[in-house]
Amino acid sequence: MYLLSVETSCDETAAAIIRDDGHVLSDVVASQIALHTEYGGVVPEIASRAHLERILPVIDQALHQAKISLSDLNAVAVTYTPGLAGSLLIGLMAAKTLAALLHIPLIALDHLRSHIYACKIANKTEVFPCVGLIVSGGHTNLYRCQTPLDFTLLGTTIDDAAGEAFDKVAAMLGLPYPGGPSIQKAAENGDKNRYAFPRAFIHDKNRLDFSFSGLKTAVRYQLMGTGHQDFSKHEWDAQTISDISASFQEAVIDILATKVRHALRATSMNTLCLGGGVAANSALRQRLEADAKRYHYRFYTAPLSLCTDNAVMGAIAWELYRAGHFASLELDILPGRVRN
Ligand code: KG4
Ligand code: ZN
């Protein structure tokens, strides 16, 4: 049996064909990074229009690479939450149209659960039950993941997402978008102990929420003092940029790694699955790998192509299919954050 998985929640137009035994026949991602770079972030209207132009060619390419045709499909899965409204709509309309035309089931995907499921796909092993940590441009969520169908939110950010903090600090430093990879690179030559940036709630074991806004402000004050000043008028020497990057990155990693330990203890679980764009950060991976050995937990993540947005992680749809969780053609997008 063949599944078409469609993902358009942010700025990647993606489609994949996945067999019911999990085998991936095709994996197509049309990135829009080049379209948004000059604006220093994703512009929702541009993203939506680009999805509209690309969605049919991307689906065609996924079918072509898989060497199957539309009539071979047994189900179509699509991300309906969370994400940018105009972006989610394009994928959803395409998927609903195909489900209606082909008389096949429609499966509704929660993008954040798909990010965790990427760990199971990448490692080809059972990862549930686990604590799931999603760190992306839009989310910083800790979950208790009992099964692929049973997630409970343990903590989330009360202000900025981790990736957003990377992007904003990079912009302050004049580093190119997307900020995460730029900060990671600059941090390689930096001293992570030069600046002692704040780590919000880090000692509060009962609070699994995150806050990155104070950290971002601390970087700003370190760079420019407390007055209102224009970043574009400032230039810092390469060593300062590297040291700020390394110290900031270390603060984020410290916060994430510590909250993970609190979540593992609170849930009595011993497996961590890490997903989302910030999971691409090599210093974060190294820290969690070291912590996993030191504190005796299993740590799973995925290669970069499965951490950033893609349609392959929509393979979670087969779990929903087998459990009979089908969506109606009335399915609508749910752009905001879901609380569970
Ligand atoms: O999951 P994702 O591709 O898109 C969504 O936000 O849904 O995540 C993008 C975020 C951006 O904020 C980007 O700066 C961050 O992931 N990111 C990184 C790295 N690569 C991407 N952050 C830190 N280090 C990285 N190497
Ligand atoms: Zn994502």
Q: How far is the CA of 74 from the centre of ligand 1 (A)?
A: 33
Region 49-68: what's the mean pLDDT? 98
Residues 291-329 pLDDT 10s: 999 999 999 999 998 998 999 999 999 999 999 999 999
Q: How many residues does the chain have?
A: 340
Residue 76's beta-bridge partner residues?
A: 4, 106
Measured from the Cα of 179, ligand 1's closest atom is 14
Residue 210's beta-bridge partner residues?
A: 157
Mutate to test the pocket of ligand 1, among 32, 175, 255, 278 (most ligand atoms within 8 A of CB): 278
Residues 194-232 pLDDT 10s: 999 999 888 888 899 999 999 999 999 999 887 776 776
What ligand is nearest to the CA atom of residue 276?
1
303: cis peptide before it, omega within 30°?
no
Residue identified by tokens 């990010």 is 115
Measured from the Cα of 9, ligand 1's closest atom is 7
Write the CA distances from 105 to 59, 191, 290, integer angstroms: 17, 53, 43
Pairing, β 2-7 against β 73-81:
parallel
| Torsional sign, CA 214, 215, 220, 223 | positive
- Ligand 1 pocket residues where CB is under 6 Å: 10, 136-138, 163, 166-167, 178-181, 184, 276-278, 280-281, 308-309
Region 115-122: what's the mean pLDDT? 97
Could you tell me the pTM of the whole model? 0.93
Query: Would the pLDDT of 188 be above 50?
Result: yes
Region 100-110: what's the mean pLDDT? 98
281 closest CA partner among 209, 179, 210: 179
Q: How far is the CA of 285 from the centre of ligand 1 (A)?
A: 14
Q: How far is the CA of 137 from the centre of ligand 2 (A)?
A: 8
Measured from the Cα of 309, ligand 1's closest atom is 3
Nearest CA to ligand 1 atom 1: 277
pLDDT at 338: 47
Measured distance CA(339)–CA(159) in Å, rounded: 15
Measured from the Cα of 170, ligand 1's closest atom is 14
pLDDT at 224: 85
Q: How far is the CA of 279 from the centre of ligand 2 (A)?
A: 11
Calculate ∠ Cα 175-181-186, nearest 5°: 55
Q: How far is the CA of 221 from the centre of ligand 2 (A)?
A: 30
Region 57-74: what's the mean pLDDT? 98
Nearest CA to ligand 1 atom 23: 180
Three-class SS string for 59-105? HHHHHHHHCCCHHHEEEEEEEEECCCHHHHHHHHHHHHHHHHHHCCC
Q: How far is the CA of 143 from the centre of ligand 2 (A)?
A: 15
Measured from the Cα of 164, ligand 1's closest atom is 12
Write the CB contacts of 40 (distance below 8 Å, at least 6 apart in sequence).
167, 171, 177
